[in-house]
Amino acid sequence: MRPSQNTSGAFAISTAAAERLCYGSSDITLLADAPDTNGALSSIATTLGTGALGALAHYHRHSSETFYVIDGSIDVLVNTNIITVAQHSSLTVAPNTHHAFAATPGQHAELLIALTPAIERFSYFRLLLEVTRGTRSRHEILDSQDRYDTYFVQSGIWNQTLAARLRQ
């Protein structure tokens, strides 16, 4: 059990006590999931290395996703637009909106991400780490899209953006 407090309708956890998943130059700290908040929200803290990819293009049918940039900046795909979200700024993506994000080239990023309403997503991030490490199949992610309300899409604009980064 995680060292946390969930009393009188409130949940508290320190980042030091939270589970941390490392993906190369980036990491995700699992803060609060659906059972912790009675379904109100899921939240994670994410650190992206310089120019690192945060997520491929996807959407959520049932949840809004809010990104708050604590430090650095991120580039976010919002349907067919790329928006830069700077330090101390936030962006909320409504359900059914295609989105992806990455640290802005030459920048790192520290983010707080919240999804509302919540479904249990911590298992998704653990599965994603295993797929990244090659110990699980990427087909397992695709097969879990309904369970985690995360549906992957193709985005020519996002793919062009990522390709341009590689050429720099």
Burial of 22 (0-12, 13-18, 19+ CB in 10 A): exposed
**Cβ atoms of 109 and 69 closer than 8 Å:** yes
Please provide residue 127's backbone torsions phi and psi, each rounded to the nearest 5 degrees: -60, -45
- Average pLDDT estimate for 42-71: 97
pLDDT score of 9: 78
Average pLDDT on 152-158 reads 97
Q: What global pTM score does this model have?
A: 0.93
Q: What is the mean pLDDT of the chain?
A: 93
Element (H, E) at 124: helix 122-133
Q: For 18-36, how does the pLDDT look when each residue is reduced to its tens digit (9 = 90+)?
A: 999 998 899 999 999 999 9
Preceding omega of 117 cis (within 30 degrees of 0)? yes
Counting Cβ atoms within 10 Å, is residue 145 exposed (0-12), middle (13-18) or buried (19+)?
middle
